[in-house]
Amino acid sequence: MKPLILFVGSSNSGKTTLMASIISRLRELGFKVGAIKHAPHGFQFFKGKDSSLHKVAGAKVSIVSGPDMIGILKDTGKDMSPFELMGYMEGVDLVLVEGFKRLPLPKIEVFNPSSEGDLPLCLGDPNLKAIVSTRALNVDVPIFDPRDIESITRFVLELTGLERGDSQRSP
108 within a domain of the structure (yes/no): yes
**Confidence at residue 1, expressed as pLDDT on a 0 to 100 scale:** 79
What does the pLDDT average to over 141-156?
A: 97
Compute the average pLDDT of residues 105-134.
Answer: 92
- The CATH number for 25's domain is 3.40.50.300
3-state SS string over the chain? CCCEEEEECCCCCCHHHHHHHHHHHHHHCCCCEEEEECCCCCCCCCCCCHHHHHHHHCCCEEEEECCCCEEEEECCCCCCCHHHHHHHCCCCCEEEEECCCCCCCCEEEECCCCCCCCCCCCCCCCCEEEEECCCCCCCCCCEECCCCHHHHHHHHHHHHCCCCCCCCCCC
The predicted pLDDT at position 41 comes to 62
pLDDT digits 0-9 by tens, 8-37:
998 889 999 999 999 999 999 999 999 998
Give the count of domains, the chain: 1
Q: Confidence class of residue 42 from pLDDT cuts 50, 70 and 90?
A: low
The domain of 96 spans 4-39+79-160
Max distance between CA atoms of the chain, in angstroms, equals: 52
% residues pLDDT > 90 (the chain): 56
Q: What is the pLDDT of residue 45?
A: 67
With respect to residue 130, please indicate whether it lies within any of the assigned structural domains: yes
